[in-house]
Amino acid sequence: MTSQLKPYEALAAVYDAWTAGNKYDAWADFVHEQLRSAFGDEPARVLDVCCGTGALTRRLQERGHRVTGVDASERMLEQARANTAEGTEFISAVLPGTELPDGFQAAVCTFDSVNYMSGPDDLSLFLTSVGKALEPSGVFVFDVNTRHKLENIFGSSHYGDDCDDYAYVWRNRYVPETRSVDFLITLFLRQQGVFTRHEERHRQRWFSHEEIRAAAAGAGFEVSLVVDDYEDTPPHEESFRETWVLVKPGTS
């Protein structure tokens, strides 16, 4: 029997193992340098949007920042509470429809979470929500999967692996009309020596530079920087991921 679950409801249990190859330290270093450039050596109040299991939350805490995490998945937040400093505040919120708390100097949203804003107005609503959470001169760092990655790498492909305590089959369907990829992830999780089968459906959409810039401007942001995957080089036609840095004008 297969259980049909919300995104990350089953993945949460193995997510840290699943994403062990992510360059979280490099991402945290990049964000830390952006915050130092904006605010000096003082710790910043940071909102980690779509924080998942808290991998980046913890690393930003280790670099001295005061971080609050936000995620739609209660299962992911359970993992985040165990992975981060005692007393870390976490908020359950489904975006872009939920108002975020305000008073933050910075926000981050990593590992392609913005691509989940797949509805017609979701990106604009999302950036507006983040903008309201930030004080004047606030900084927002996020990344997106590129058109090249969603169209040509994920595309209409499928793959899988046996990872000992879990196995998975990942099937993708690219929909040109909506510029999105539908993911059907079938997970087999070992529980007390028995594997149980679960299915999750995810959707990601790619955005053009023009769309992101227009949505950012509409939310009151200025684009400060666009680079290739947290590096110091500009994105190119075969970039898999782009990192954007937005700034909310004003004086703190």
pLDDT in tens, 43-95: 999 999 999 999 999 999 999 999 999 999 999 999 999 999 999 999 999 99
Q: Which fold has domain 12-146+207-247?
A: Rossmann fold (3.40.50)
- Global pTM reads 0.96
> For position 3, what pLDDT does the model report?
56
Per-residue pLDDT at 168 = 96
User: How do the residues of the chain divide into helix, strand and coil, expressed in percent and rounded to 5?
Assistant: 30, 35, 35
What residues does CATH 2.20.25.110 cover in the chain?
149-204
Which stretches of the chain drop beneath a pLDDT of 50?
Answer: 252
The structure tokens listed for 30 are 């990049």
* Residue 118, pLDDT score: 95
Residue-level pLDDT at 252: 47
Q: What's residue 251's pLDDT?
A: 57
Q: What is the CATH code for 149-204? A: 2.20.25.110
